[in-house]
Structure 1
Amino acid sequence: MTAAAAPRPSRVRAVRIWLTLVAALIAVMVLVGGATRLTESGLSIVEWKPITGTLPPLTDAQWHAAFDGYKQIPQYRELNAGMTLGEFKTIFWWEWSHRLLGRVIGIAYLLPFLWFLWRGAIGPEWKRALWGIFALGALQGAVGWWMVASGLSQRTEVSQVRLATHLSLALIIYAAIVWTLRRLSGRRRAAAPARLKATAVALLGLTFVQLYAGALVAGLRAGRLYNTWPTIDGVLIPDAARLWFETPWWKNLFDNHLTVQFDHRMLAYALWTLAALHMIDALRTGAGAAARGAVLLFLALTAQAALGIFTVLYAAPIDLALAHQAMALVVLTLAVLQAERLTATRESRATLDRRADQIAVSTTPV
């Protein structure tokens, strides 16, 4: 082994370990955010202090000041009037932990990234992608406050549209990191027909649409309604008059509890069917790793569908709701890996290898 070739695997491995840890932190962040929503804790901190807000209240006076701030918003006056300080602390810690974890993720991403740049461990192609991910992370902080602000004056909860936007952006960041990790692995594209690649991309796109729809259901607390399956409100397909009574018609897609939950169910059926067809096609063509990926994705979607059914039947208890959200992350991960596996070009792999060799040569001590 030459001196020039030796550093390359270790450098790439270090970058991949770093990105894996960041992706794991984001997954935890999504689940903590879900718990924060389910415990109605998201409005317990009514100010956005990116720096000073890192520290929680440390004295009785500070706790009472935070509690007094919460008493000024509609959620307290209409839903939690008479809450004790101890009860307030419970919801406060959920929201504070969620925000603290966001800060931790920012540091865990930026500092190692700057170190890797300084050491020359990241080529120009990956610099742009990784800076883009960091920019999305910075935007996510602003979107989070935009979401919280929607519940501080006129509402007793945050806007479900802003909640869905906040969650979707987190999942886009997570997916981008998983995609980059797969590219950094240096594995070549799985040989497969064009239709298999197309359905893999369609599965990934439909997964994101379904996750957004699920966030709308969560934001509206619509999972606590229509708790039967396979029927919904006593029928398989509700009357159009009930699905589309709001005007303009498109508001039903975001505000109508029945329409939002029905859409979520229909998207689930479509996603499961497409995954089944994709798996059958992959197995018939003998697509190797792509076939294994298709089987895993179909099994994960089947498990997710079962969790979704039980979550509806039991009116979205916190344990089932969080399990459903965790499995959604598994589905998204497998969908990203499958799409990347089938769409990555051989030329990009060759480019990666050349870049890695160049980095290794330029950073090897003489």
Structure 2
Amino acid sequence: MSALAANHAGIRRWLWAVAGLVFLMVVVGGATRLTGSGLSITEWKPITGALPPLSTQAWAEEFAKYQASPQYQILNNGMSLGEFQFIYWWEWGHRQLGRFIGLVFLAGFLVVALRRLLPGRQLAILFGMGLLLGLQGAIGWIMVASGLQPGMVAVAPVKLTLHLTFAGLFFASVVAFATWLTPLRRPETAGSAAMAWLLLLLTFVQIALGGLVAGSKAGFTFNTWPLMDGAVVPPGSLLFAQQPFWENFVDNVALVQFNHRLGAYVLFAFALWQLWWLKRKAPQSSAAKRATVIAGMVTAQAALGVATLLLVVPLWAGLAHQALAFAVLAMAVEHVTRTGAQTADAA
């Protein structure tokens, strides 16, 4: 692996550029959601949709399409053309960035494949990552379409969560591949691969729970901490007020927020426990240093989450919270990749 890594600096730069673009996409997507812009474009045109309205008539036609949507009729009735253009440009920019990411990934993949810069197995992995990226685009439209159904003023929380989770999966795959191709500066004592994988799993679960919070706008309620509705654990009559029972986990803002809080506590505690364990076993190892960084980032993310809740989700805090979540994810992926490689080498 070290010889392969040393010979492919160009591939690494390409992958890290893709990862950076996806990170930016997550932030732009968060801004699109928080500004209420996600349903401003009511059609999915993968090719021709790249062009925005270029005339007064074209803008009038786009506005008329939005005026026919449930969100306009129920929530934004009376919106001016200027106000519509504001939310339109956010959604248009979000979609263009997605197209750009697709083109950058495709161009890089074609160069790698045509010049046979990687073995067949690694090419197959890159191809699968490309399919995942394409699927993510399709899920994005499915999410938008859910918000255009009669009576809807926002996208379905489950589909928003699916969109965010698949973005995380693609981002994680790119970071893992780039990390795998990056040579180690020095050998390190192997950490616990199982512990690293569990941390990554908890991070993914917490991001998904955050997606449900975002989709249901649960962050705009119960804006106190550490108590929630006056208690550490709200009563069951509040957490499970809806029928059927399972709908509480996606549509009941009380349970959705409570689960996100629990996920944060578990992730925070595990990050600190992993740090203690690695510092005790191999205090000078790279694994221990990564665990230190991860624990610090998780602590900052927890504090930012509390601040976002108490401030009732201002735009800057919501975006920072989402961005830091993906930074934690990147570190967790690097931790798994490095720990796994060292464990394999030791075996």
Q: TM-score, normalised by structure 1?
A: 0.90
Question: Equivalent residue for 2:73?
Answer: 77
Question: Equivalent residue for 2:189?
Answer: 191
Task: Say whether 1:340 aligns with 2:331.
Answer: no
Question: Equivalent residue for 2:117?
Answer: 121
Q: For residues 325 and 184 of structure 1, what CA distance do their matches in structure 2 show?
A: 27
CA contact (8 A) 1:199 1:274 kept: no
* C-alpha deviation, 1:111, in angstroms: 1.0
Q: For residues 86 and 171 of structure 1, what CA distance do their matches in structure 2 show?
A: 34
CA contact (8 A) 1:192 1:285 kept: no
CA contact (8 A) 1:44 1:92 kept: yes
Q: TM-score, normalised by structure 2?
A: 0.95
Task: Say whether 1:19 aligns with 2:44.
Answer: no
* C-alpha deviation, 1:340, in angstroms: 1.3
The AA in structure 2 aligned to 1:173 is: F
Question: Equivalent residue for 1:3?
Answer: none
* C-alpha deviation, 1:205, in angstroms: 0.3
Local SS of the residue matching 2:282: coil
Question: Equivalent residue for 2:62?
Answer: 66
Task: Say whether 1:271 aligns with 2:281.
Answer: no
Q: For residues 90 and 128 of structure 2, what CA distance do their matches in structure 1 show?
A: 29
Q: For residues 342 and 288 of structure 2, what CA distance do their matches in structure 1 show?
A: 18
* C-alpha deviation, 1:87, in angstroms: 0.5
Change (3 A) 1:60 1:244: same
Change (3 A) 1:279 1:347: closer
Alignment RMSD: 1.8
Cα-to-partner distance string for 1:64-99 (whole Å, 9 max, x where unaligned): 000000001110011111111011000000000000
The AA in structure 1 aligned to 2:123 is: K
CA contact (8 A) 1:31 1:326 kept: yes
* C-alpha deviation, 1:190, in angstroms: 4.3
Cα-to-partner distance string for 1:311-351 (whole Å, 9 max, x where unaligned): 0000001010101011101110111111111112676899x
CA contact (8 A) 2:6 2:181 kept: no
CA contact (8 A) 1:216 1:260 kept: yes
What are the ranges of 5 or more consecutive residues in structure 2 without an aligned counterpart?
A: none
Aligned length: 342
Task: Say whether 1:205 aligns with 2:201.
Answer: yes
CA contact (8 A) 1:29 1:98 kept: yes
Aligned pairs (5 A) from 1:355-366: none
* C-alpha deviation, 1:191, in angstroms: 3.0
Local SS of the residue matching 1:344: helix
Question: Equivalent residue for 1:310?
Answer: 307
Question: Equivalent residue for 1:252?
Answer: 248
CA contact (8 A) 2:6 2:183 kept: no
Cα-to-partner distance string for 1:110-150 (whole Å, 9 max, x where unaligned): 01210122122122121011001100011111101000000
Task: Say whether 1:159 aligns with 2:156.
Answer: yes
Q: For residues 244 and 172 of structure 2, what CA distance do their matches in structure 1 show?
A: 34
Counterpart among 269, 279, 282 of residue 283 in structure 1: 279
Local SS of the residue matching 2:43: coil
Local SS of the residue matching 1:87: helix
Local SS of the residue matching 2:133: helix
Q: For residues 298 and 258 of structure 1, what CA distance do their matches in structure 2 show?
A: 28
Q: For residues 317 and 8 of structure 1, what CA distance do their matches in structure 2 show?
A: 46
Aligned pairs (5 A) from 1:43-192: 43-154=39-150, 155-187=152-184, 190-192=188-190
Q: For residues 316 and 296 of structure 2, what CA distance do their matches in structure 1 show?
A: 21
Task: Say whether 1:235 aligns with 2:231.
Answer: yes
The AA in structure 1 aligned to 2:49 is: G
Counterpart among 273, 289, 294 of residue 292 in structure 1: 289
CA contact (8 A) 2:189 2:286 kept: no
Task: Say whether 1:329 aligns with 2:315.
Answer: no
Change (3 A) 1:347 1:222: closer
Structure number, greater radius of gyration: 1
Q: For residues 243 and 10 of structure 1, what CA distance do their matches in structure 2 show?
A: 53
* C-alpha deviation, 1:106, in angstroms: 0.4
The AA in structure 2 aligned to 1:302 is: T
Q: For residues 51 and 247 of structure 1, what CA distance do their matches in structure 2 show?
A: 42
Cα-to-partner distance string for 1:167-189 (whole Å, 9 max, x where unaligned): 11011000001011111124388
CA contact (8 A) 1:179 1:337 kept: yes
CA contact (8 A) 1:190 1:342 kept: no
The AA in structure 2 aligned to 1:292 is: K
Q: For residues 347 and 337 of structure 1, what CA distance do their matches in structure 2 show?
A: 15
Counterpart among 219, 225, 232 of residue 215 in structure 2: 219
Change (3 A) 1:189 1:173: farther
- Overall identity of the aligned pairs, in %: 45
The AA in structure 2 aligned to 1:157 is: A
Cα-to-partner distance string for 1:182-232 (whole Å, 9 max, x where unaligned): 111243884335xx3222111100100000000110111111110000001
